[in-house]
Structure formats: structure tokens, C-alpha cells
Amino acid sequence: MSDETAWQARPHRRLNALTGEWILVSPQRTQRPWQGETTAAREHERKPGYDPTCYLCPGNSRAGGARNPNYTQTFVFDNDYAALARDTPPAAIDDDGLLVAQSESGICRVVCFTPRHDLSIARMPAAEIRGVIDAWAQQYTELGAQPGINSVIVFENHGEQMGASNPHPHAQIWANASIPNEPAKEQAAATAYLETRGTCVLCAYLARELAAQERIVHRNEHAVVLVPFWAIWPFETLVVPRVHATALDRVTPQARDGLAAAMRVLTAAYDRVFDVAFPYSMGFHQRPTDGLPHDEWHVHAHYYPPLLRSATVRKYMVGYEMLGMPQRDITPESAAERLRALCATIEH
């Protein structure tokens, strides 16, 4: 190992260029014995294509008595258990900067990917995933055009370990008035980068990673999957369209096809890491829908899978991570190497 890369084998911290936050990397700890949770792997259950008790399957009734149509592709509806409400009356308190609160208006929706109860992005044809991306883009435009909606976040909780209450393949969309913490941090960092260096931070970062190759997991003509230099979760990835676009509405049809293909390869590779349906939370960051151009934004998806060393050993964000900063053991480079090898085994 050369002196230039020796630092990578020793404890170090890395800057997240998208948020401005630091993470701790401890590569020497990878071999430490595990004494935590080792619950037995759940047998990969064979799910039916239609489940009469599922509130997302076509033709079934939901809470409150609404009945799903016999949909054949994607299906979008207002969440029956919404975390936000439209037309929340404005209210605010600020007691010397100590007790500060504001009312928040918003809309929550559910996007079913397919009528098939037993599928997942990993097992859907790329053409159907493209249809899901089109539905997300359409929802982004529709919700973003509503008065008082400035942020639209599309996300999927996949698998019981991530708290998904229903295995039917679906995403959620939360659209609200204020910019939430995570995109707000990214917006501040991207704006600062654009102002000081005159370029989009993600365009610049992508070019750097494509040249280095070390953390690239998969790529096609239109999209790149990589383990970011600053990844926190063991097999965390970033999926980025190659051509600059501030949100999904500006991503061309060809690039949406490329994005769909990359998402299919990545999720299929995830399912092979520990030979189990790989749990994750994923979602898109896009420009705010406040009507401003926001050229500092470059649309991207984050995948945050919790599994660490087996189908049952997951990473927890506890202790020093709650009190100090996030920390990881296996390096982003070794995680990328493993995912890259698995992506190469997926037909595409």
C-alpha cells in the first residue's frame, strides 16, 4: 500500500460534499467479533400475485371504505393515514427563540407500482419501472403546482426491517410547504459550491467518480450507480442521471429509461448480497417547487439499506452515532467492489 492511500486503512473522517457533514470511517474494525442481534433469517416467503386482505391490491377496499379500481399499471391515491393535511390554518409561535413552532400544510399520496402483489422493483421489467418513474414525475409536477407546496419527496420503504407495513410494491409521496432538513442541507451546500466554483456539485462529483471508477457500481448511457465517498450505511448508493436535470420533470424519456434500467440492476444486485430480499429506504431529492429555477439542484436517488454482515445483522445508528457522528466499518470502496461484482451478474 502506498503512503498516499495508507490513510484509507486507518481511522479517518470524510466530508459529505452534498450536505457538508462529516462521517467517521474505521476500516480496521471490520474483523471485530459480533455479539449483537443474530435472529434467524426469515424464510423467503412466496407471496401470491393477488392478496384479498391487501389494501393496495386492485379491487380491494381500504380504510374509510374507499375501494381501489381494477388498475392495470400504476395507481396513485391520497394516503388514508396522511401525516400532513391540506389547508392547515396558518399559526406560529416564537418564544425568545426557545419555543418555536409553525403550522405545516401538505399532501401525502401512495403510488402502487403494479397490480402484482408479489413483485418488487428488482423483479419488474425496466419498461414497467419506467412507468413508475413517469408517475413520480407527473406527481412531482402536479403536487408542486399546488399553492403552498414547495417540497415534494418520493420515497420507498422496502421490507419489514425498514418499517414497511405492506409488502405490496409501493412508494409514498409527501409534499409540503417547508423544505425538510435533508434537502435543506443539500441545497445550502450545492448553492455554496455553485457560487464558489461555478459548477453543479453533483455534475463535478460524477465526473470525478467516473474518472476514478473505484466507487462506481453500475452505469449505462444515461445513469450511474455509485457508493458515495461519504456513504454511512454499509451498502448505501446514489443513483444519478448523467445529464444535469434539476428534477424528474426535466429528465428526458431516454434518460428515464436509463434510470429505470439502473434501478432494476441495482435492486436485483442488492437481493444477491445476502441472498435475501434486501431491505432499504430509497427516495429522490429534487429542486424545490417554489417556482424558482434552482439550477444548483441535480436530481438523484439515495438508497439506504441497513444490512451489514448477513441477512440478519443490521447496522444501528446508536451510541457515538447519536451523540457524535455517523461511523462505518467496511469502506465505501470495498462495498462498491462487492456491489459492482453482483451487478455484473444481473442481465441487462
244 contacts 293 by C-beta, under 8 angstroms: no
Q: Does 168 engage in binding with Zn ion (CB under 5 A)?
A: yes
5: CB partners within 8 A, 6+ apart: none
Distance CA 30, CA 126 (A): 36
- Nearer Cβ to Zn ion (71/274): 71
Q: Rule CB under 5 A: choose which of 200, 248, 276, 339 binds Zn ion.
A: 200
Q: Rule CB under 5 A: choose which of 203, 243, 313, 346 binds Zn ion.
A: 203
- Nearer Cβ to Zn ion (123/272): 123
Shortest Cβ 300–Zn ion spacing (Å): 6
106 contacts 149 by C-beta, under 8 angstroms: yes
Q: Rule CB under 5 A: choose which of 111, 129, 154, 202 binds Zn ion.
A: 202
321 contacts 26 by C-beta, under 8 angstroms: no
What does DSSP assign to residue 244? -
Q: In the window 299-338, what residues touch Zn ion (CB under 5 A)?
A: none
Q: Does 188 engage in binding with Zn ion (CB under 5 A)?
A: no
Q: What residues does 280 pair with on adjacent strands?
A: 158
Contacting range for Zn ion; rule: CB under 5 A; set: 4-12, 94-102, 146-154, 164-172: 164-172
Shortest Cβ 33–Zn ion spacing (Å): 35
Q: Does 285 engage in binding with Zn ion (CB under 5 A)?
A: yes
Distance CA 346, CA 218 (A): 11
Q: Does 244 engage in binding with Zn ion (CB under 5 A)?
A: yes
Shortest Cβ 21–Zn ion spacing (Å): 12
Shortest Cβ 119–Zn ion spacing (Å): 10
- Nearer Cβ to Zn ion (215/285): 285
Q: Rule CB under 5 A: choose which of 298, 314, 315, 328 binds Zn ion.
A: 298
Distance CA 207, CA 229 (A): 13
Q: Does 264 engage in binding with Zn ion (CB under 5 A)?
A: no
Shortest Cβ 168–Zn ion spacing (Å): 3
Residue labelled with grid coordinates 449483537: 36
List 170, 218, 285, 300, catalytic entry? 170
302 contacts 192 by C-beta, under 8 angstroms: no
39: CB partners within 8 A, 6+ apart: 312
Shortest Cβ 117–Zn ion spacing (Å): 3
- Nearer Cβ to Zn ion (31/165): 165
Q: Does 117 engage in binding with Zn ion (CB under 5 A)?
A: yes
Q: Using alpha carbons, select from 119, 162, 120, 157 the residue that is nearest to residue 307.
A: 162
Question: What 3-state class would DSSP assign to 23?
Answer: strand
Burial class (CB in 10 A: 0-12, 13-18, 19+), 53: exposed
Q: Does 57 engage in binding with Zn ion (CB under 5 A)?
A: yes
**C-alpha 176, offset from chain centre:** 18
Q: Please confirm, yes or no, whether 44 is among the known catalytic residues.
A: no
Q: Does 56 engage in binding with Zn ion (CB under 5 A)?
A: yes
Q: Does 110 engage in binding with Zn ion (CB under 5 A)?
A: no
Q: State the number of CA atoms in the 13 A half-sphere of 281 facing the CB.
A: 10
Catalytic residue numbers, as ranges:
170
List interacting residues with Zn ion (CB under 5 A). 51, 54, 56-57, 117, 168, 186, 200, 202-203, 244, 285, 298
